[in-house]
Amino acid sequence: MDNLGAILAVHGLGFDEVVKLTVYLQHLDHDFVGFDEVCRSYFNPYPVLTTVGSDLLGILVEIDFVAHKSA
């Protein structure tokens, strides 16, 4: 989440501007509750979230996100 925050900051954005997350968890049944808890501590409001279990070849989590920057 710190890396996502750094990417957002480079563009003058924060977690409040994230409108959509797609999260791939290698161990969905084991890690979802913990990930969701951490995720909720960063976002207000909470963005649209899609969470998928996926064989990530040694990667535990991958996150794609969409943020909106007002003109």
Classify 16 as helix, strand or coil: helix
Domains by residue range for the chain, with CATH? 2-67 (3.30.1330.40)
Please give the single-letter amino acid code of residue 45: P
Distance from C-alpha of 65 to C-alpha of 63, rounded to nearest angstrom: 6
Q: Tell me the pTM.
A: 0.84
User: pLDDT tens across 52-66, in order?
Assistant: 999 888 899 999 999
57: left (phi over 0), alpha (psi -120 to 50) or beta: left
Distance from C-alpha of 24 to C-alpha of 60, rounded to nearest angstrom: 8
User: pLDDT tens across 14-54, in order?
Assistant: 999 999 999 999 999 999 999 999 999 999 889 999 999 99
Q: Is 8 within 8 Å of 17 (Cβ atoms)?
A: yes
